[in-house]
Amino acid sequence: MNHGELLEHLQQLGGAINFSVVVPGETVDRAFDMATAAALVKAYEFCKEAAEADKRHSFFLLASLRGICEDYIALKFIHDKEETAKDEIIYLRMLDETHESSIVQWKFFKETHSSQRLYYRDNFNEERERIRGDLRKLLKNHRIKKNASMPSVHYMADEVGMLSLYQYVYHATSQFVHFNPRLLLRMGWGGPPRFAFTSANFGDYYQHFSVFYGSFLLIAIFEWLATIDAPAIRHKTPASLLLLKDYLQETSRWPELVTFEEMNIGVLSRHLLFKAPDEVHP
């Protein structure tokens, strides 16, 4: 399936998604439904952007996969493990993040641009600790690090049976947000003696990786939300979803973290010297 066909199926899938959620009362009363709707739309729009993107710029898209994956894991964990408190947990987490960001930005601007007015009050540190205390009480049955308000994503992924997915996406995307010599050096093509550097190298790979695993996560989120009757889902089994699943199943070689191409290993050598996991006996 080429990207043009994929985009057509994505457009059709959009008809099965509710892009708005009615909240008749207070936001806190429907915070979970709002968060799940936003997570689904985010995954859907990522897939569209990745498929439409100029492959020369796809390097800068790939890191967003981690956020999509973590949204899915955290929301599923909250629903499966603490369903009765799911709205309050989402709302308090939002307040916690707002206070933390305000504190961090205050410190930065104080040093670099102190004339700018900011959303900040002197009691934000105390307020943040109160909010985190309330969150810890709601999540008291789970392991939470000392200075955190929620369990780690690793813990939540393990609890809902998605640890291998999280670790794969984590490793795939962390190299784009952390110092990574391997990623920097493989931007250089040519040589020796001269290498030309640009993030557009491996552009086909980055786009394929983004589109493929973006679709993988979109399907997973959509199908999960359909099972819990989330208001973000308009139609539970649209034909376009089945076509997207076919796209994954028909792809014989899924995008890898370390490719034979970057390791300069040819087709013959990879078949003679390397194995697939199902070829290795336990």
pLDDT recorded at residue 128: 96
Residue 67: per-residue pLDDT: 97
What pLDDT does residue 149 have? Answer: 92
pLDDT of residue 22: 86
The pLDDT of residue 154: 97
Q: What is the pLDDT of residue 1?
A: 60
Q: How many CB atoms lie within 10 A of CB 46?
A: 22
Name the residue with tokens 């498929």. 51
pLDDT tens digit sequence for 186-209? 899 888 899 999 999 889 999 999
Write the DSSP assignment of 68-90 as a string of letters.
HHHHHHHHHHHHHH-GGGHHHHH
Q: What is the mean pLDDT of the chain?
A: 93
Instruction: Answer whether 51's CB lies under 8 Å from 3's CB.
Output: yes
- The residue ranges of the chain whose pLDDT is under 50 are none
Over residues 103-122, the pLDDT tens digits come to 999 999 999 999 999 999 99
Strand partners, 189: 196
- 3-state DSSP assignment of residue 84: helix
- Which residues make Cβ contacts (< 8 Å) with residue 3, sequence separation at least 6? 51, 52, 211
Q: Quick one: tokens of 45?
A: 């729009």
Residue 28's pLDDT is 83
- Residue 16: the pLDDT is 95
The reported pLDDT for the residue numbered 2 is: 75
Task: Report pLDDT for 282.
Answer: 67
Burial of 170 (0-12, 13-18, 19+ CB in 10 A): middle
Q: Which residues contact 212 (CB under 8 A, 6 or more apart)?
A: 248, 251, 254, 255
